[in-house]
Structure 1
Amino acid sequence: MTPTEELEIFSHVVSAGSLSAAGRELGLSPAVVSKRLRKLEDRLGTRLLQRTTRQIALTEAGQGFYERIVAVLAAVEEAEAFVSRRSAQAKGTLKISAPTSFGRMHIAPHLTSFMEAHTDLSINLVLSDEFVDIVAEGFDLAIRIAELPDSSLVARRLADVKRVLVASPAYISKHGQPQTFDDLDEHICLPPHNGEVWRLEGPDGEIRAFRPDGPLSTNSSEVLREAVVAGMGIALRSTWDVGPELAKGDLVHVLPEWGASKHIGLHAVYPSRRFLPIKVRLFIDYLADLYGPEPYWDNPGDALYTAAAE
């Protein structure tokens, strides 16, 4: 067995989370996977994994080793593709992390066409509203909606994200329409589960902060959207999330001259490396073409907007 094959087995074990799962991906028995891992550890002179029959955990040395071999394996894949002139083909499994609602609404419906174009590729889409450690958990990339701080990761902005204040007509009929920013203090404003302060930009560029304090607390973005549609209060929502409801009149803009920071965007985030795996590059390019430069969720005349609204 070559050193590269040993690295590939180790990488699969980390990303799959167990010896048996890695064995299924590689077509090897758990016993063979375990034997080859021991051989790698013996060669390196250090333990990389703490493992039981049910789970594994990286040691400190294993964590550092894994972070470095990801780049090595990516470089090997890129080099092989270049030599064999197969740079447009994607193979293997692409593991993606994405926010729950966005993934369901704007990634899942578009996977079929991408996978039909790349028949040797499998996709593992994991939906969560928490930021995952994509290196430690073996993700190839993550889709994130945020104003991203500096980090050791690489991010490509896929689209702008517009966040606006919305409420249902029933709520406005009962509580009235706020006319100024300060009027928000007199209204029911539903907070996100992370306790985020609303940072809103006015028509003259003024930035003001407001801490919503409503009666509902939930870790589900979808529950919060449904609560707003049901008339519970005012919320700050992305147009990709509530575009259809706004178009149908189920929701209306509140204080339309105020909106969230324009620095918030939709990003594809992946580990910093010199050579980007083909499967990752192709998928990021696919999403960038699909969403940009004007996302279909901000264009009611777009056929994709109509399909998402149905």
Structure 2
Amino acid sequence: MSNFGDLEIFARVVAAGSMSAAGRELGLSPAVVSKRLRRLEDRLGSRLLQRTTRQIALTEAGQGFYERVVAILAGVEEAEAFVSRRSAMARGTLKVTAPTSFGRLHVAPHLGTFMEANPDLAINLVLTDDFVDIVGEGYDVAIRIAELADSSLVARKIAPVRRILCAAPSYLKRHGTPQSLEALSGHNCLTHVSGEAWRLEGPNGPVSVRPNGTLMTNSSEVVREAVLAGIGIGLRSTWDIGPELASGELVQILPEYGGSRNIAVHAIYPSRQFLPVKVRLFIDFLTDLYGPSPYWENGIDAAQDAGSRAEPLRRVASAVR
């Protein structure tokens, strides 16, 4: 293998986070990858990577070398694509992590379409609500639903998130529909994080409400089921309850208030440089799939509008009886 091949191995190891992961992508054994890295370091007369039993880390020299190598490799890839006019194919294994509920509802069902279009690609999808170390645990991309803070990682927004206050009609029938934020203090408000305030945006800007409820759980999915069962009021994302809102199983309350608009679905990956084709294609696929008006919003507004028009008639009928 040429010296240029050693550069590619080095860049793959850094991007993948381990020699074994890089070897799988390149079709090489970890022993061969390690040998090529030692040869490169010997030729340069400098250590590029600090190796431990669990992960690797760039030395100061290695960091500067990596930044220059990925620029070279990206230029070569661009030049080849320009000359050949062919689309690069996704190959190897794509390691993805996503939140449990979102991954189950809006990633897993669409993997078949993506994998059919990329038959040489295998996917390792890990669903967890824990905050994982993308680089340290060797992930290619992470799906996160959050208001992102500054980070050395790269984030790309792939879908908006709309969070609304909602309840089941059975709960509202028993306890009434709150007409103001202040009225929420008299209702059973459900959240999976004890003591966490609901950060809302309304007609007069941001406002916080501290929910008080009778259910304590560490599971957002349990809260979802409790809201559906008529136990209380929840602040839920439309990606989580879209069908129930469209069917009328859940009803939006206080529609002038909603969750922070800064929260969105993001794809997170380690670096803009030397972005693997498999990562780029996967992120593009999800971005096109969801779009600025995601499919989970379909039918929600029409159903809620119909419910709003019917509510005065129900009150009149109840008064007559």
TM range (shorter): 0.7 to 0.9
- Deviation track 1:31-76 (CA, whole Å, cap 9, x = no partner) reads 3333334334444532624334xx3343665984797466665554
Q: 1:161 aligns to what?
A: 161
Opposite residue 2 of structure 2, the aligned amino acid is T
Q: Any stretches of 5+ residues in structure 2 without a counterpart?
A: 301-321
Q: 2:129 aligns to what?
A: 129
Once the two structures are TM-superposed, the CA of residue 4 in structure 1 deviates from its matched residue by 4.4
Q: 2:182 aligns to what?
A: 182
Q: Is the 8 A contact 2:91 2:278 kept in 1?
A: yes
Distance 1:194 1:63 in 2: 44
Q: 1:229 aligns to what?
A: 228
Instruction: Decide whether aligned partners of structure 1 residues 71 and 100 sit closer, same or farther in structure 2, where only a CA change above 3 A counts.
Output: farther
Opposite residue 250 of structure 2, the aligned amino acid is L
Instruction: Decide whether aligned partners of structure 1 residues 67 and 142 sit closer, same or farther in structure 2, where only a CA change above 3 A counts.
Output: farther
Instruction: Decide whether aligned partners of structure 1 residues 197 and 74 sit closer, same or farther in structure 2, where only a CA change above 3 A counts.
Output: farther
Opposite residue 46 of structure 1, the aligned amino acid is R
Instruction: Decide whether aligned partners of structure 1 residues 51 and 157 sit closer, same or farther in structure 2, where only a CA change above 3 A counts.
Output: closer
Q: 1:90 aligns to what?
A: 90
Cα RMSD for the two superposed structures: 3.3
Say which is worse superposed, 135-144 or 175-184, in terms of deviation: 135-144
- How many residue pairs align between the two structures? 298
What percentage of aligned pairs have identical amino acids? 63
Q: 2:102 aligns to what?
A: 102
Say which is worse superposed, 5-14 or 84-93, in terms of deviation: 5-14
Once the two structures are TM-superposed, the CA of residue 229 in structure 1 deviates from its matched residue by 1.9
Opposite residue 118 of structure 2, the aligned amino acid is H
Instruction: Decide whether aligned partners of structure 1 residues 157 and 101 sit closer, same or farther in structure 2, where only a CA change above 3 A counts.
Output: same
Opposite residue 289 of structure 1, the aligned amino acid is D
Distance 2:75 2:181 in 1: 52
Distance 1:264 1:179 in 2: 25
Say which is worse superposed, 171-180 or 20-29, in terms of deviation: 20-29
Q: Does 1:257 align with 2:247?
A: no
SS at match of 2:293: coil
Distance 1:74 1:220 in 2: 43
Distance 1:272 1:199 in 2: 31
Distance 1:83 1:218 in 2: 57
Aligned residue runs from structure 1 range 20-59, under 5 A: 20=20, 22-42=22-42, 43=44, 45-46=46-47, 48-52=49-53, 55-58=54-57
Q: Does 1:117 align with 2:117?
A: yes
Distance 1:144 1:120 in 2: 26
Q: Is the 8 A contact 1:78 1:277 kept in 2?
A: no
Once the two structures are TM-superposed, the CA of residue 236 in structure 1 deviates from its matched residue by 0.9
Distance 1:104 1:58 in 2: 33
Distance 2:108 2:11 in 1: 26
Distance 1:231 1:35 in 2: 62
Q: Is the 8 A contact 2:17 2:135 kept in 1?
A: no
Q: Which has the larger radius of gyration?
A: 2
Q: Does 1:266 align with 2:265?
A: yes
Q: 1:290 aligns to what?
A: 289
Q: Does 1:212 align with 2:202?
A: no
Instruction: Decide whether aligned partners of structure 1 residues 128 and 65 sit closer, same or farther in structure 2, where only a CA change above 3 A counts.
Output: farther
Q: Is the 8 A contact 1:163 1:238 kept in 2?
A: yes
Once the two structures are TM-superposed, the CA of residue 240 in structure 1 deviates from its matched residue by 0.7
Q: Is the 8 A contact 2:48 2:59 kept in 1?
A: no
Distance 2:45 2:224 in 1: 52
Instruction: Decide whether aligned partners of structure 1 residues 18 and 88 sit closer, same or farther in structure 2, where only a CA change above 3 A counts.
Output: closer
TM-score by length of 1: 0.78
Instruction: Decide whether aligned partners of structure 1 residues 221 and 13 sit closer, same or farther in structure 2, where only a CA change above 3 A counts.
Output: farther
Q: Is the 8 A contact 1:143 1:269 kept in 2?
A: yes
